């Protein structure tokens, strides 16, 4: 068993009385009712945080046009996804009606939307000025063809953003059989996978906020709570800090499934608590996981936790400039396999890739997975999060994201120190 010193250390982390109180003024175990908590003492960490500048959006469009020339594209079509915001600075909700932007190889970006939405879209434009509208009885696909013709494009390759919905692609293809519709990844992915200094700053701030939300949330964890109750607390903490964010929480045996279960056990002393989530700062994401034990931990829990920490450290050490990104997965997985788990994706062991790219989307290009031969270079950002999953018992995941600098990998958040010290010197 662990020492009394460690028990007291984690008791302090959760706050006075948090370990031994089955219910409190804020939680009713019988009804599973979580009353609203106040986090008014927390500062708004978004004060004074500026978004990406118009100049940087224009620079992104210029780079996209350069890549279009290199790759033989005439234009790219961007539906209302993160790609639209990346280039134009505009957020727009998806519906059954087409709303999109077209960036030509030469010339300015142009927008298309329903005619009755033109005024609302114009209010949001910070890059470009042309907006074309279609009436409800008209074909937006024919209008796309007309817009391309106005740009001097009647044949060649039109890149389609990877998250564009099929019915839109199908409609454009039928209206423009003379246009070759291809993936825009050689443009969009290549632009987005390398982050600018300002993007890194926003991601760092998102990570700082989520870490602050973690520290505040765990102070209020109590016996008898469900994972969803703890997640609700984390939403309130993030909101008080000025952002939208949450920390999905898996308790006990549920933590052995990397993304949880519909089953929600009540928190008991000695249970594994696995939390995973983040927030967005001016659309840039954080993603952090922490695993600890509520109360005393067993020798087995600590052994597995230490193995997970060693695997994460090995992945980080393998993230070297010029090395293929798959090396991160290979190194982390080897630590777990050498300890007798696996092999490969088998459980008990590591059932998923070691990491994913991160930026505007919490999961985007740049996965730390076997087969990804792309060399690591400055500006790439990704998570390192090998899980040790033991079905029927528990799982441990430690996730921190890093970016590649000119000198090598740099953590956005410092990794956990020990099973009873999940936040270390963050």
Mind listing the pLDDT tens digit for each residue in 236-274?
Answer: 999 999 999 999 999 999 999 988 889 899 999 999 999
What is the DSSP secondary-structure string of 87-142?
HH-------SS--EEEEESSS--EEEEEGGGHHHHHHH-SS--EEEEE-TTS-HHH
**Dihedrals φ, ψ of 127, to 5°?**
-130, 130
CA–CA separation, 309 and 332 (whole Å): 10
Complete domains list, the chain, with CATH: 4-35+195-411 (3.90.230.10), 54-192 (3.40.350.10)
Q: Which helix (H) or strand (E) holds 306?
A: helix 299-318
Flag whether pLDDT at 36 surpasses 90.
Answer: no
E runs forming strands in 37-80:
73-79
Q: What is the pLDDT of residue 258?
A: 87
Predicted confidence band at 425 (pLDDT cuts at 50, 70, 90)?
Answer: confident
Query: Cβ-count burial of 177 within 10 angstroms (0-12 exposed, 13-18 middle, 19+ buried)?
Result: exposed
Distance CA(42)–CA(72), nearest Å, equals 51
Give backbone dihedrals phi and psi of 280, rounded to 5 degrees, phi first. -130, 135
pLDDT of residue 37: 53
Q: What's the average model confidence in pLDDT over 368-377?
A: 98
pLDDT exceeds 60 at position 175: yes
Report the percent of the chain where pLDDT is more than 90. 88
Cβ atoms of 280 and 355 closer than 8 Å:
no
pTM above 0.75, yes or no: yes
- 60 prior amide bond cis, ω within 30: no
Say if residue 343 is preceded by a cis peptide, omega within 30 of 0: yes
Please give the pLDDT value at position 241.
Answer: 97
Of 178-182, 249-253, 258-262, 373-377, least confident by mean pLDDT is: 258-262
Q: For 244, what's the count of Cα atoms within 13 Å in the CB-facing half-sphere?
A: 3
Question: Residue 344 and residue 367: Cα distance in Å, rounded?
Answer: 17
Residue 17 is predicted with a pLDDT of 39
Q: Is the pLDDT of residue 190 over 70?
A: yes
Half-sphere exposure of 328 (CA within 13 A, CB side): 34
Average pLDDT over residues 19-30: 39
Strands 271-281 and 245-251, by their bridges, are antiparallel
Residue-wise pLDDT for 303-354, tens only, equals: 999 999 999 999 999 999 999 999 999 999 999 999 999 999 999 999 999 9
């Amino acid at each position: 068993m662990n020492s009394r010193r460690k028990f007291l250390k984690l008791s302090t982390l959760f706050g006075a009385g948090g370990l031994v109180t089955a219910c409190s003024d804020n939680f009713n175990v019988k009804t599973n009712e979580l009353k609203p908590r106040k986090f008014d003492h927390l500062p708004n960490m978004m004060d004074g945080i500026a978004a990406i500048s118009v100049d940087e959006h224009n620079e992104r469009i210029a780079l996209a046009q350069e890549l279009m020339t290199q790759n033989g594209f005439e234009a790219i079509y961007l539906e209302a996804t993160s790609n639209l915001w990346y280039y134009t600075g505009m957020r727009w909700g998806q519906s059954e009606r087409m709303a999109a932007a077209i960036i030509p190889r030469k010339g300015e970006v142009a927008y298309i939307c329903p005619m009755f939405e033109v005024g609302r879209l114009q209010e949001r434009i910070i890059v470009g000025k042309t907006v074309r509208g279609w009436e409800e009885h008209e074909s937006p696909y024919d209008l796309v063809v007309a817009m391309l013709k106005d740009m001097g494009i009647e044949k060649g390759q039109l890149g389609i953003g990877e998250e564009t919905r099929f019915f839109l692609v199908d409609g454009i293809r039928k209206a423009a059989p003379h246009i070759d519709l291809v993936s825009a990844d050689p443009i969009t992915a290549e632009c987005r996978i390398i982050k600018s200094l300002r993007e890194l700053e926003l991601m760092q701030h998102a990570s700082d906020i989520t870490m602050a939300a973690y520290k505040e949330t765990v102070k209020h964890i109590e016996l008898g709570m469900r994972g969803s109750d703890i997640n609700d607390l984390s939403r309130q903490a993030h909101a008080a800090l000025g952002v939208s964010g949450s920390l999905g929480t898996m308790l006990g045996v549920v933590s052995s499934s990397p993304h949880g279960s519909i089953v929600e056990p009540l928190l008991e002393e000695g249970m594994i608590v696995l939390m995973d989530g983040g927030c967005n700062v001016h659309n840039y994401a954080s993603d952090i996981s922490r695993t600890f034990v509520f109360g005393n931990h067993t020798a087995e829990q600590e052994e597995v936790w230490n193995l997970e920490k060693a695997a994460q450290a090995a992945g980080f050490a393998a993230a070297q400039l010029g090395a293929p990104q798959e090396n991160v997965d290979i190194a982390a997985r080897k630590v777990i396999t050498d300890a007798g788990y696996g092999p490969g994706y088998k459980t008990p062991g590591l059932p998923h890739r070691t990491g994913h790219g991160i930026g505007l989307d919490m999961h985007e290009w740049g996965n730390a997975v076997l087969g990804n031969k792309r060399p690591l270079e400055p500006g790439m950002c990704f998570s390192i999060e090998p899980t040790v999953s033991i079905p029927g018992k528990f799982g441990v995941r430690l996730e921190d994201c890093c970016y590649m600098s000119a000198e090598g990998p740099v953590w956005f958040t410092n990794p956990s120190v020990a099973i009873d010290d999940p936040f270390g010197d963050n």
